[in-house]
Amino acid sequence: MYNNWITDMNLAVVNELINKDYIQYGFAFFSLVLIGVIVWLLMKFVKVHDKLINVIEKNNKVLAQFIDEVKLIRSEQHEMRDSIVKFRDEFSEVRIDWAKRPCQAEVARK
């Protein structure tokens, strides 16, 4: 087995140090400092969290407006496409003389 007298001696030294007043006051002071740091960090976290929530809400509003605009553009695009298809159909049905003429560049080459 190990030398028990060495561990017993170390325990005695540790117990003697822990029972001293300045060590206990140091632990108490350090504990209060740590609690203060934790409270300060929690307050900072709450402030950052509130700012983050505000930013997320503003982003959601902007995204909703963007989606509405995209839907509007898409509907206008469909209307334009429908009118172009309608014009193409009407143009193909009508036989206009100027529509049958060849390109002027081709006429000039001949």
**What pLDDT, on the 0 to 100 scale, is given for residue 49?**
96
Measured CA to CA, the distance from residue 22 to residue 7 in angstroms comes to: 24
Per the structure, the complete domain to which residue 49 belongs is given by 4-109
* 10-44 residue pLDDT tens: 777 777 777 888 888 888 999 999 999 999 999 99
Position 95 pLDDT exceeds 90: no
Q: What is the mean pLDDT of residues 81-102?
A: 71
Is the pLDDT confidence value at 88 over 50?
yes
Whole-model pTM?
0.48
Distance CA 87, CA 40 (A): 70
User: Based on the structure, what is the number of domains in the chain?
Assistant: 1
Quote the pLDDT of residue 1. Answer: 47
